[in-house]
Structure 1
Amino acid sequence: MITYEYPFNERIRTLLRLEDLFEKTAHFSGHDGPLEHHVALVTLFDILETASRADLKLDLIQELERQRQTLLSFRNNPEISEEALSGALYEIEQASAALLAMTGRIGQHLRDNEWLMGIKSRAAIPGGVCEFDVPSYHFWLHHPAETRRAALEGWTRPFLPLRDALTIVLRLLRASGRPDHFVAKSGAFQLMLGGSSAQMVRLRLPLAVAVIPEISANKYALNVRFACPDGSLRPRHTDQDVDFEMTFCNL
């Protein structure tokens, strides 16, 4: 199965982008090659830019507190595992405390590093970090893998409270809905939402079904157009019926 997620607001869109960037940074940092570590560093710069929203940390703290209060209401409920509930509360409280302990602007430790900011500005230029452009960076890429990895971990570590918090929020968001089965007749599907409070929709399709959903939505209506991936920017619309699973998620 393959899952497609479509956020309904900018806040969830930002969290999904950051989740993707953190996963890529962790993946490429875990390798030994200088090219992989270059990708990890450039992706870290993307995290810096994406996380620069002034209200992101406050949004996450408020959402975690709201979820904590919701979970507290389940105390002494015989249908709820006290052990699982305590574990979830502990995780949320730890994430909130780590966020509150973050001081200053998110990513300021990178902005204060003149060498890294020089690489960041050059990386924005196609081919701008060739060895003749930034010889000091070329030298760094020839350091032992362990040295480079330690540096990457050090530059990433101050962002980890942000990563841990958004991981919890997105996990709760994804678990908030129940999947339903739908059929897109002749590859098209429309659903009136009537002012729904949903924050994200998730579509699941068998990987063997060679179609991709093109989703447009707001709180009043959802439209899905299924197309056949043919390598073009605008894939060809399919006229076949498509069975799919859809879940509306809301915190």
Structure 2
Amino acid sequence: MILYEYPLQERIRTYLRLEHLFIHLQQLLQRVDAIDHHFALATLFEILEVSTRADLKSDLLKDLDKQKHMLDSYRGNPAIAESVLDEVIHQLEQCFEALNNQSGKSGQSLTENDWLMGIRSRIVIPGGTCGFDLPSYHAWQHKPSQVRQAQLQTWAQTLAPLADTVHLLLKLLRDSGAPQKVIANGGQFQQSLPQGRTFLLLRLALDETMDLVPEISGNRLMVSVRLMRQGEENRLQAINEDVSFELALCA
């Protein structure tokens, strides 16, 4: 199955972008080649770009607090395992404390590193990090891989509270939605969303052997899915057959 996710609110869109970048960063940090470390730095700078949104830290702290209060209300429920509940609440409290204790925006210490910001200003220019443009960066890329890895891990660690918070909030959000089998009649599916409940994320699972691509749109009132098939040169073409897939709405 191929899983597709579609955010129904802007802040969830930001969380998903950050998670996507943190996953890439973690994979690149485990590699040893200089080219991989170059792209690790590029990913680090992308995370900084996304995380500079003024209200991001405030949104994350509010969502952590909201989740904690919601889970606290489950105490005493015989259908809930208290030990599991305590562990999740503890994780929420840890993330809240770590993020709240960071002064300023996430990654602020990185923006105060003149050497890193010099690379950041050049890396967006095609070929802008050539040896003749940034000789100190060229020299850094020739250092032993263990040295580069250690420095990259140190820089990435400054973003750890942000990464942990985003991963935990998205995990809890995904766990809130139960997948259901639905059918796209003639390749199209629409569903009205019930009033009084705010859905934040749509998750769609398609059998990869179908070779289909979903075009998803949605808002607080309705979600819509149109299934497409990739033809020559990967051009998408609408289908007119009935197709079943799994859909989960997470609130």
SS at 2:151 equivalent? helix
Paired AA for residue 3 in structure 1: L
CA distance in structure 2 between the partners assigned to 1:205 and 1:233 by the alignment: 18
Residue 243 of structure 1: how far off its partner (Å): 0.9
CA distance in structure 2 between the partners assigned to 1:75 and 1:101 by the alignment: 28
What is residue 220 of structure 2 aligned with on the other side?
Answer: 219
What is residue 4 of structure 2 aligned with on the other side?
Answer: 4
Q: In 1, are the aligned partners of 2:64 and 2:92 still within 8 Å (CA)?
A: yes
- Uncovered stretches (5+) of structure 1, i.e. residues with no partner: none
Q: After superposition, where does 1:80-119 map in structure 2 within 5 Å? A: 80-119=80-119
SS at 1:215 equivalent? strand
Paired AA for residue 92 in structure 1: L
- For residues 193-234 of structure 1, give each alpha carbon's deviation from its aligned partner in whole angstroms, at most 9, with x where no partner exists: 255521111000111110010011111222211111236575
Residue 18 of structure 1: how far off its partner (Å): 0.1
What is residue 228 of structure 1 aligned with on the other side?
Answer: 229
CA distance in structure 1 between the partners assigned to 2:149 and 2:89 by the alignment: 33
Q: In 1, are the aligned partners of 2:211 and 2:229 still within 8 Å (CA)?
A: yes
What is residue 206 of structure 2 aligned with on the other side?
Answer: 205
- Cα separation, partners in 2 of 1:22 and 1:61, compared to 1, 3 Å: same
CA distance in structure 2 between the partners assigned to 1:187 and 1:213 by the alignment: 9
Report the RMSD for the aligned CA atoms in angstroms.
1.4
CA distance in structure 2 between the partners assigned to 1:97 and 1:182 by the alignment: 41
CA distance in structure 1 between the partners assigned to 2:192 and 2:80 by the alignment: 34
What is residue 173 of structure 2 aligned with on the other side?
Answer: 173
Residue 81 of structure 1: how far off its partner (Å): 1.1
Deviates more, 1:173-182 or 1:12-21: 173-182
What is residue 19 of structure 1 aligned with on the other side?
Answer: 19
CA distance in structure 1 between the partners assigned to 2:120 and 2:59 by the alignment: 27
CA distance in structure 1 between the partners assigned to 2:104 and 2:179 by the alignment: 41
Identity score, percent:
44
What is residue 245 of structure 1 aligned with on the other side?
Answer: 246
- Uncovered stretches (5+) of structure 2, i.e. residues with no partner: none
Paired AA for residue 167 in structure 1: H
* Residue 42 (structure 2) pairs with residue 42 (structure 1): yes
- Cα separation, partners in 2 of 1:49 and 1:233, compared to 1, 3 Å: farther
SS at 2:147 equivalent? helix
SS at 2:183 equivalent? strand
SS at 2:208 equivalent? coil
SS at 2:65 equivalent? helix
Task: Tell me the TM-score normalised to structure 1 length.
Answer: 0.95
CA distance in structure 1 between the partners assigned to 2:116 and 2:191 by the alignment: 48
Aligned length: 250
CA distance in structure 2 between the partners assigned to 1:233 and 1:152 by the alignment: 37
Task: Tell me the TM-score normalised to structure 2 length.
Answer: 0.95
CA distance in structure 2 between the partners assigned to 1:122 and 1:233 by the alignment: 33
Q: In 1, are the aligned partners of 2:204 and 2:246 still within 8 Å (CA)?
A: yes
Paired AA for residue 204 in structure 1: A
CA distance in structure 1 between the partners assigned to 2:117 and 2:111 by the alignment: 6
Paired AA for residue 25 in structure 1: L
Deviates more, 1:77-86 or 1:22-31: 77-86
